[in-house]
Amino acid sequence: MQEAQFQQSIILVDDEKHLRHACTQALELAGLTVQSFASAEGVLDALGQDWAGIVVTDIRMPGMDGLELMSEILALDAELPVILISGHGDVPMAVQAMRDGAYDFIEKPFPSDMLVDAVKRAMEKRHLVLENRRLRQKLVGANNLDKKLIGTNPQIVSLRKQILNLADIDIDILINGETGVGKDLVARCLHQFSMRANKRFVAINCGSLPANIIESELFGHEAGAFVGATEQRIGKFEHANGGTLFLDEIESMPLELQIKLLRVLQDRVVVRLGSNDEVPIDVVVLAASKVDLLEECKAGRFREDLYYRLNVLSLQVPPLRERPDDIALLFQHFVNQASVLHKRDAPEVSSDVIASLVAHDWPGNVRELQNVASRYALGVPTTLLQPQHEIMPEHGTLAEKVNAFEKQVIEYCIREQQGSLKATYEVLGVSRKTLYDKIQKHDIDSTKLANK
């Protein structure tokens, strides 16, 4: 857990103005951040699960008193430290308050250093509680992430480990990969397993918006900033404040806007169109590209300084053709998903279907596979799933059927790769020697297959 995430705030509640001011001043002189309230009203709205702070409250107050407020707070989070202060306290009240969950009880009048000491101890406890929660969530996340980013291929296993390792780091990340590999899913996983998971995840596709609109979408505008701007608009950066902003197809961003984006990433402030005021932002920026941005820099289509600012950390999402061992698993998952969505019984996925899937090179990657699976689940004929090889024999031993199936897959793949054995063993995920051995074993004529 990042230390930066623990900018803990103290909520101080007391209806006596002079005491509220004195306590606030003492805590702030100790380097602590204080948010003060004259009553319990509004306090609960400022809290939430995993809120990084503590509460100090007087007991005797008009309206909701401190004991009632503590009860409401502990109902939200039983491990949130609440320190009670009172000028009317006695031993029985203190004992009961501690039994009811108070972290500490301070009786007025008290020296300021006593309050500061109690607050610091409470904050340290809160820090440890949230740290332990985060570690538990991360352990659970390690088990859940494989249900989101599916696959057993070593590249995917490595990618999942990188996501869990990088999610807690408050730093911008560049996600690289071809169209359809799931860069958006990787970005969402980074957010979900981060400290910002309970904040907004805001996504914007830089390639889908006209150049004259994207600036307003990102940074916002004031009323009257341009023709048609009838009211103030909050941009995506501000909307994502405290959370994560995902910029997909970053390579499509106009050059003149890249300069402004670079400034925002460096200074962490935005200026709305039509305004001179700087608005501080706290966001992690995840950017995705389907092309080599360094090559784009060399071609003059992408700013080199922005590339190096974004590329502090990067993740590479492998294309589907490099993980053929995951195709059957992913296809079955998407078939089941589509069947549930459309309230259909999931059809059986035959070995012939799997053979056709493995032999395909998947230029559209996982997105293409998902579309094929959806059509298959709905019973819509798909050219890709019409086997061009012989049907597996109905009779014979298991070994004979396995050999026949293996031969069919290899022949079909050689045919699809137009006789290229290099492309064939790469698609099948085997070594060159293994492919040549199997060609000899099954007496396959690759030259004839290339001409079919």
Number of domains in the chain: 3
Q: pLDDT grade, residue 6 (50/70/90)? A: very low
Residue ranges making up the domain that contains 301: 149-318
Q: Point out the domain boundary residue: 289, 318, 347.
A: 318
| CATH code (residue 87) | 3.40.50.2300
Question: CA-to-CA distance for 112 and 110, rounded, in angstroms?
Answer: 6
The verdict on 170 and 305 lying in the same domain is yes
175: how many CB neighbours lie within 10 A of its CB? 27
Cα gap 371→335, rounded to integer Å: 10
Structure tokens at 430: 């085997």
Q: Is 170 domain-assigned?
A: yes
Comparing C-alpha atoms, which of 38, 113, 51, 111 is closest to residue 82?
51
- Which CATH number do you get for residue 271? 3.40.50.300
Question: Does a structural domain hold residue 137?
Answer: no
**Does residue 208 fall inside a structural domain?**
yes
My answer on whether 170 and 290 are in the same domain is yes
Whether the model pTM is above 0.85: no
Mean pLDDT on 246-258: 94
Q: Which residue type does 69 have?
A: L
Contact 1, 131 (CB under 8 A): yes
8 A C-beta contact, residue 392 and residue 398? no
Distance CA 292, CA 301 (A): 11
Q: Does 207 lie in the same domain as 169?
A: yes
Please indicate, yes or no, if residue 143 is contained in any of the structural domains: no
Determine the Cα–Cα distance for residues 41 and 54; give it in Å rounded to an integer: 17
My answer on whether 331 and 301 are in the same domain is no
Query: 90 and 178: one domain?
Result: no
* 271-302 tens-digit pLDDT: 999 999 999 999 999 999 999 999 999 999 99
Cα–Cα dist 201/224, whole Å: 29
Same domain, 336 and 438: yes
Work out the angle between the directed axes of helices 421-428 and 351-359 (0-180°, nearest 10).
120
**Co-location of 156 and 287 in the same domain:** yes
Q: Are residues 219 and 283 both part of a single domain?
A: yes
Nearest-CA neighbor of 213 among 374, 418, 205, 169?
Answer: 205
Shared domain for 358 and 329, answered yes or no, is yes
Q: What would the pLDDT profile of 328-343 be if each residue is shown by its tens digit?
A: 889 999 999 999 988 8
- If asked whether residues 264 and 327 sit together in one domain, one would say no
Question: Which whole number is the average pLDDT over 364-376?
Answer: 93
Q: Which amino acid is at 154?
A: P
**For residue range 174-225, what is the model confidence (pLDDT) as tens digits?**
999 999 999 999 999 999 988 898 899 999 999 888 877 888 999 999 988 8
Whether residue 354 is found in the same domain as residue 257: no
Contact 236, 218 (CB under 8 A): yes
- 397 within a domain of the structure (yes/no): yes
Looking at 76, 103, 132, the residue that finishes a domain is 132
Asked whether 195 and 1 are in contact (CB, 8 A), the reply is yes
Whether residue 141 lies inside any domain: the answer is: no
Q: What is the pLDDT of residues 16-48, one digit of tens each?
A: 999 999 999 999 999 899 999 999 988 998 887
